[in-house]
Structure 1
Amino acid sequence: MPQHSLKSTSHIALGLLAAMLTAAPAIAQDDDDDTGRLEYMYSCSACHGESARGDGPVARYLNVDTPSLTNLTRENEGEFPLYKVVQIIDGRSGVGAHGTIMPVWGARFMPQALAEGGHFRAEVIVRGRILSIAHYLETIQD
């Protein structure tokens, strides 16, 4: 491998590690942290409702059903489908939201995250916000 490629790769790896370490306190979560709930209320509750049962004030105006998010564990043989939920919320990987008009939150969160730092740091911030929503959803399963 050429010397400049190794140097470039090591700079990218160091940059990613630094971004992750810098962003970690902002996305860390414990039992007392409301980050996921607040993110859900701000980004998701208009359609899915404060109770996450698909009864948000905007849901009645949509031409598709807004699903309840409180029965995901039950629908997946007792295991919360964390990876799938993260992919659906993010929306940038082509998984989509089952043919609905759900926003692509990964793209929507990106401009603000980019304003806070470079691309790698922004990606960590975006994924942290999405993961906090998914973690919150896991805590409210029926």
Structure 2
Amino acid sequence: MRKLAVLAVLALAAGCVPEEKQPTGAEDFATFCAGCHGAGGKGDGPGAEGLPRHPANLTTLAKRHDGTFPKLRVMAKIWGYTGKYGDTPMPNFGPLLDSPLVPYDAGDGISSPTPLRLVQLAEYVESLQVK
């Protein structure tokens, strides 16, 4: 009986611990991206000066890809995959976006476990697209 009482108290106490709040995509963008890409994503951030290659204008990604936002490419780039452009000043943000995994289909029909913060950040960048 005493064990049940202890377990009940522990269960109640666990419910009192606040859940860790995950930053939003906009908050992560302000923290990790705006320094180089600018607050509006146009590549005009204060950290852009002096870089060997100018940061991309993130507001025209869909326009440059025939009107389709390249979700997988954006997420891969944020995570740290450089593809054929191995020499890039953009840091690998993967470790900084560690968060619970969520099933996510980036448009290829395949739902994959993906860090929530990576999904939110990519969706925020998608929201910056010029119409």
TM-score by length of 1: 0.61
Structure label with greater radius of gyration: 2
Residue equivalent to 1:87: 76
Size of the alignment, in residue pairs?
Answer: 101
Match 1:133 to one of 111, 121, 124: 121
1:117-136 Cα distance to aligned partner (Å, 9 max, x none): xxxx5xx2882111111100
Higher helix proportion: 1
Tell me, yes or no, if the aligned pair for 2:38 and 2:45 is still in contact at 8 Å: yes
Match 2:91 to one of 82, 92, 103: 103
Q: AA paired with 1:82?
A: K
Report the CA distance shift for 1:98/1:67 in structure 2 as closer, same or farther (over 3 A).
Answer: farther
Q: Distance in 2 between matches of 1:138 and 1:57?
A: 22
1:131 counterpart SS class: helix
Higher strand proportion: 2
Q: AA paired with 2:50?
A: Y
Consecutive aligned runs of 4 or more in structure 1 exceeding 4 Å deviation = none
Report the CA distance shift for 1:94/1:61 in structure 2 as closer, same or farther (over 3 A).
Answer: closer
TM-score by length of 2: 0.66
Gaps of 5+ in 1: 1-22, 28-33, 114-120
> Within 5 A, what are the aligned runs for 1:27-106?
35-91=24-80, 93=81, 95=83, 99-106=87-94
Report the CA distance shift for 1:141/1:26 in structure 2 as closer, same or farther (over 3 A).
Answer: same
Tell me, yes or no, if the aligned pair for 1:88 and 1:97 is still in contact at 8 Å: no
* Percent identical: 30
